[in-house]
Structure 1
Amino acid sequence: MTHEPTVFVIDDDQIIRDSLATLLSTAKIRTEMYSDALEFLDRFDPERAGCLLLDVRMPGMSGLELQRHLSKMEVPVTTIILTGHADVSMAVGAMKTGAADFIEKPFRADDLIRRVREAMGKNLEARKQWNRNRELQVRVDTLTPREKTVLELIIEGNPTKTIASQLGTSFNTVRNQRTSIMRKMNTDSVVDLVRIMTEVGGQAEKN
């Protein structure tokens, strides 16, 4: 199911939530409102594109704690921190752990809308690469443990004869495994194979 890109507003202040809902709706930007971090996490769907407008100080899980939690999930989440003047240093710290931007309260409507649109654009681009990486990882996961070992040796630059010697097997066996790897990875080029493995984060995992 395809969802329209959405701004997820997470703020315990009802007045702020209502104000942002009105502002973003006027700009024809889809929004969802949450009063705290746990309410958002209960309904969080990593497949949905958009960005978070996240208050720094909230009861229970703070905005910074939520930001750190989402960063560890390795999904493309683009976050804008909403902060009061006294919390600017905290917002800067959040950017070091992955937040895309921060906006001080009170904010100008046109500035917030512009920065929200920029954040949503960044999220869509990040999701393209995320989906690409997942597609490539599916290919890697089809390899057998021995094929993954051969793959590692291939991308290290070893020729088939050397791989066969290192693994104590025949040239023809490694050649057949190499052919199978290329077919499963949907490529016929070692250069492309190296590029693919770089995209998915390096060498194939060993089972």
Structure 2
Amino acid sequence: MTPQTYIVDDDEAVRDSLACLLESRGIESQTYPSAEAFLEAWNPSLAGCIVLDIRMEEMSGIELFDRLLELGCRLPVIFLTGHGDVPMAVSTLKNGAFHFIEKPCNDTELVERIEEALRVDAARRDAEESAVSIEVRLKRLSPRERQVMELVLAGKINKQIADELNISVRTVEVRRASVFEKMGVKTAIELGQLIARSDGQRRS
């Protein structure tokens, strides 16, 4: 899905001016007149970031933010706040909001924060796609190839692996080569880096 900046504000003039500003900078956007309207449109495949007014009638920006967290939304959220809302906005940063900007906004600052948020979201999605790719490759390994891979990662040489698995050194060489080919690496160091990256992405 094409990354978008999702503008959620109950002030039509604000929505329109922000959309025009982003369009002038080559950033695609969609606007929503309420938190409820965005909730109806939200789905896990959305990419980009959210620019969210902190004070709106009916459901507030804070309430929408909390609801999105419950739904597992990982889009960076930039809050637009009035001066009196700053303490509230600061507390949202502790809960995972990306940034907050006081109204009236400085156009350059706002665009820079949005571009930064879009980069962060793109990097997250790339990492997730990479982790999925690694998992797919791991699933292609046979049980014996898995055993050989684990011993390679443990720093064992072919002779040690052969003795431990009670197979010939030649068989180890064949299995090792197959592991490298299926995982898309050329050395044990590259294999270790790939698995470490996958483990780190699963924990993050």
Q: Normalised by the shorter chain, which TM-score bucket?
A: 0.7 to 0.9
Q: Which runs of 5+ in 2 are unaligned?
A: none
**1:186 to partner: Cα distance:** 1.6
Name the SS for the 1:157 alignment partner: coil
- One-letter amino acid matched to 2:107: A
**Which of structures 1 and 2 has the bigger CA Rg?**
2
Q: Pick the aligned partner of 2:196 from 177, 180, 198.
A: 198
Distance in 2, Cα, partners of 1:144 & 1:89 = 55
Sort the Cα spacing of 1:162 and 1:82 in 2 relative to 1 into closer, same or farther, 3 A: farther
Number of aligned residues:
193
8 A Cα contact 1:139 1:184, kept in partner:
yes
Distance in 2, Cα, partners of 1:92 & 1:151 = 47
**1:196 to partner: Cα distance:** 0.9
**1:31 to partner: Cα distance:** 0.7
Distance in 2, Cα, partners of 1:56 & 1:125 = 26
Task: Give TM-score, length-normalised by structure 2.
Answer: 0.72
Q: Which runs of 5+ in 1 are unaligned?
A: 72-76
- One-letter amino acid matched to 2:45: D
8 A Cα contact 2:127 2:201, kept in partner:
no
Distance in 2, Cα, partners of 1:144 & 1:94 = 47
Q: How does 1:1-207 map to 2 (within 5 A)?
A: 3=2, 5-34=3-32, 35-36=34-35, 37-42=38-43, 44-46=44-46, 48=47, 50-56=48-54, 59=59, 62-67=64-69, 69-71=72-74, 77-166=75-164, 168-172=165-169, 173-201=171-199
Q: Deviations over 1:34-58 (max 9, x none)?
A: 332422324x524x4x322134456
Name the SS for the 1:62 alignment partner: helix
Q: Deviations over 1:111-169 (max 9, x none)?
A: 21232223223434444444443333332232234433432332122333444454x43
Task: Give TM-score, length-normalised by structure 1.
Answer: 0.72
Name the SS for the 1:70 alignment partner: coil
Name the residue aligned to 1:74: none
Distance in 2, Cα, partners of 1:181 & 1:203 = 21
Distance in 1, Cα, partners of 2:168 & 2:89 = 58
Sort the Cα spacing of 1:111 and 1:24 in 2 relative to 1 into closer, same or farther, 3 A: same
Distance in 1, Cα, partners of 2:162 & 2:176 = 11
- One-letter amino acid matched to 2:41: F
Name the SS for the 1:143 alignment partner: coil
8 A Cα contact 2:7 2:29, kept in partner:
yes
- One-letter amino acid matched to 1:38: L
Distance in 2, Cα, partners of 1:203 & 1:111 = 31
Distance in 1, Cα, partners of 2:124 & 2:195 = 18
Distance in 2, Cα, partners of 1:102 & 1:203 = 27
**1:96 to partner: Cα distance:** 4.1
Distance in 1, Cα, partners of 2:194 & 2:162 = 23
